[in-house]
Amino acid sequence: MSIAIKEVVSNSDIKKFIDFAHELYAGDKNYVPELYMAQREMFDKKKFPFYDYGSVKSFLAYRGDKIVGRISAIRNERYNEYHKSNIGFFGFLEFTQDKAVLKALLDAAKAHLSEYNYDYLMGPTNFTTNETSGFLIDGFHEPPKIMMPYNSSYYNDMLMEAGLEKEMDMYAYMIGSKLVSDKSIKLAKMLEERLAKGGIKIRNISLKSFKQEVGKLKKVYNAAWENNWGFVPFTDREFNHMADGLKMVAEEEFAYMAEHEGEPIGFSISLPDINEITKSFKKGRLLPFNIIKLLLNRKKTSYVRIAATGVKEEYRRKGIEAIFFAKNILEARKRNLKGGEASWILESNEEMVLSAEKLNGNRYKTYRLYKLPV
């Protein structure tokens, strides 16, 4: 039976697009459904900040009446302006183990973006490199941590066979609470005391004064990441939207700000791994009762994810990143947590890789972004 590609247009189409992943991974013990409310908001052009400057067309692949794949074709000219590049993007790609399905989806994305004469397409990014990006290529043995992607193990081989190439790999390190040497913790404490004498202090981020903190976080984030591969500065609306989402799950004890004489120079935010709770939520629905389960159990997770860490370039190599990691470990030990995942870390980010490895971090998952010739 031939494959039919249909554009996602109606609310019903969007629902099918989101729910296809749940059908594809039915029976996979490591799959964690994305929360439907959050996914649905991403396709609301009035609510989601990406549409202030970008555009998306999404497609479903059918064999007869059965959905067998999905993809989004994405224009992100803000990325191209910042990097002086000329590339398009694809995202939300999911497909059955069928080469014809994958080809049809990729062809649909290329056809939509062909009029813009891009050099190549990059993905998956949902919708930007500041959001969920990449496919898992190793480390399929356990579920993903909060806000990290998951996919079937056949994806990488099929994508490479279809002519895609590696663009960038990103790592996830598992740092076990009990595996970190006390020597490393003591060294971090000594570094913190030494920095304090030079006017550099590290404190917890206040969630009660979060609106005031957000401005400082944005300033640090854009400065700390400006030279990173794939980085694009958040717009004010994007950063506020992201911060609102983080505030819903973040805890002060796992959120840190480094300041030099009161001026913010670095930060680190870790999130409780609520995937341990939402894993059982059918099709990612919160209502009517799952939201209660989430609220009652969010402080009972076994892991955290070190989701965002950044230090301004002129303050790097002073040990601030190691102090952030050590503080996470100490709080995790206090709560009897098993550990924390540091992710994702670019393969080219030698300083962060070294910081994770010094704390006996185990590189246990790798994610990949691909380039698709046009």
> How much is the pLDDT for 247?
85
Report how far residue 178's alpha carbon sits from residue 184's, in angstroms, rounded to the nearest whole number: 12
Residue range 40-67: average pLDDT?
97
> How much is the pLDDT for 320?
92
Amino acid letter, 141:
H
Which range is least confidently modeled, 3-17, 78-92, 287-301?
287-301
Segment 330-340, tens digit of pLDDT: 999 999 999 99
Q: Are 323 and 204 within 8 A, CB to CB?
A: no
Of the chain, the percentage scoring pLDDT greater than 90 comes to 78
pLDDT tier, 5 (very low <50, low <70, confident <90, very high otherwise): very high
> How much is the pLDDT for 359?
79
CATH of domain 175-368: 3.40.630.30
> How much is the pLDDT for 356?
84
The pair phi, psi for residue 4, each rounded to 5°, is: -110, 130
Q: Are 108 and 93 within 8 A, CB to CB?
A: no
Q: Is residue 226 over pLDDT 90?
A: no
DSSP secondary structure code for residue 105 in this structure: H
- What are the extents of the domains in the chain? 3-168, 175-368
The segment with the largest mean pLDDT, out of 7-21, 202-216, 355-369, is: 7-21
> How much is the pLDDT for 360?
85
Give 215's contacts (C-beta < 8 A, 6+ positions apart). Answer: none
pLDDT tier, 317 (very low <50, low <70, confident <90, very high otherwise): confident
CA-nearest of 173, 170, 130, 133 to 149 is 133
Q: Is residue 24 over pLDDT 90?
A: yes
Task: Provide DSSP, 229-258.
Answer: TT--PPPHHHHHHHHHHHHTT--GGGEEEE
Task: Provide DSSP, 274-341.
Answer: THHHHTTSGGG--TTTHHHHHHHHTT--SEEEEEEEEE-GGGTTSSHHHHHHHHHHHHHHHTT--EEE
Alpha helices in the chain (DSSP H): 11-24, 36-42, 77-83, 99-113, 155-161, 182-197, 210-225, 236-247, 275-278, 290-297, 320-334, 350-358
Q: Is residue 184 over pLDDT 90?
A: no
Report how far residue 15's alpha carbon sits from residue 42's, in angstroms, rounded to the nearest whole number: 12
Strands 87-95 and 66-75: antiparallel
Angle at 146 between CA 105 and CA 10, to 5 degrees: 40
The pair phi, psi for residue 196, each rounded to 5°, is: -60, -35
Determine the number of helices (DSSP H) and then strands (DSSP E) in the chain.
12, 15
- Block residue for tokens 């013990």: 29
Tell which wins on pLDDT, 244 or 66.
66
| Mean of per-residue pLDDT scores for the chain | 94
CA-nearest of 30, 4, 35 to 19 is 35
Which range is least confidently modeled, 133-137, 169-173, 347-351, 364-368?
347-351
Q: Are 301 and 270 within 8 A, CB to CB?
A: no
> How much is the pLDDT for 150?
98
Residue range 329-350: average pLDDT?
92
> How much is the pLDDT for 228?
84
Residue range 75-100: average pLDDT?
97
Q: Is residue 271 over pLDDT 90?
A: yes
The secondary structure element, H or E, covering residue 56 is strand 55-63
Integer-rounded Cα Rg, in Å, for the chain is 21
Give the number of other CB atoms < 10 A from CB of residue 6: 14
> How much is the pLDDT for 161?
98
Report how far residue 199's alpha carbon sits from residue 9's, in angstroms, rounded to the nearest whole number: 56
* pTM for the full predicted model: 0.93
Q: Are 46 and 99 within 8 A, CB to CB?
A: no
Tokens of 236: 């004010």
pLDDT tier, 212 (very low <50, low <70, confident <90, very high otherwise): confident
On the question of a common fold for 3-168 and 175-368, the answer reads yes
- The CATH topology of domain 3-168 is Aminopeptidase (3.40.630)
Residue range 158-173: average pLDDT?
97
Tokens of 280: 């059982």
Q: What's the burial of 88, exposed, middle or buried (CB within 10 Å: 0-12/13-18/19+)?
A: buried
Q: Is residue 168 over pLDDT 90?
A: yes
Q: Are 151 and 117 within 8 A, CB to CB?
A: no
Give 349's contacts (C-beta < 8 A, 6+ positions apart). Answer: 228
Residue range 181-185: average pLDDT?
86
